[in-house]
């Protein structure tokens, strides 16, 4: 069975390869406006992955330029859960 390709946060709509790449480390974004996308965390320390990030999105509660806040939840460093949006 062929592995399902997953889109990566930040890939442009016209990117010829907007999917996860070998040799990279990703977290899955769970909930919120970016639900189901992967976020490339290659090179981040476990502490940085645990901290999460404010990811720019045009589809959050605050429109273009707003941020969707994601962070590790319950010690799971493979997923970032949505914490909310901010301008």
The tokens 């946060």 sit on which residue?
Answer: 9
Q: pTM for this structure?
A: 0.88
> What are 16-75's pLDDT values in tens digits?
889 999 999 999 999 999 999 999 999 999 999 999 999 999 888 888 889 999 999 888
Q: What is the DSSP string of 26-69?
A: EEEEESSTTTT-EEE-TT--HHHHHH-EEEEESSSTT-TTEEEE
């Amino acid at each position: 069975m062929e592995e399902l390709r997953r889109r990566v946060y930040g890939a442009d709509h016209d990117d010829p390869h907007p999917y996860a790449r070998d040799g990279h480390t990703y977290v899955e974004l769970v909930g919120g406006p970016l639900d189901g996308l992967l976020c490339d965390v290659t090179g981040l320390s476990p502490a940085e992955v645990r901290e999460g990030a404010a990811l720019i999105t045009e589809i959050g509660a605050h429109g273009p330029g707003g941020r969707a806040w994601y962070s590790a939840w319950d010690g799971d460093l493979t997923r970032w859960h949505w914490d909310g949006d901010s301008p």
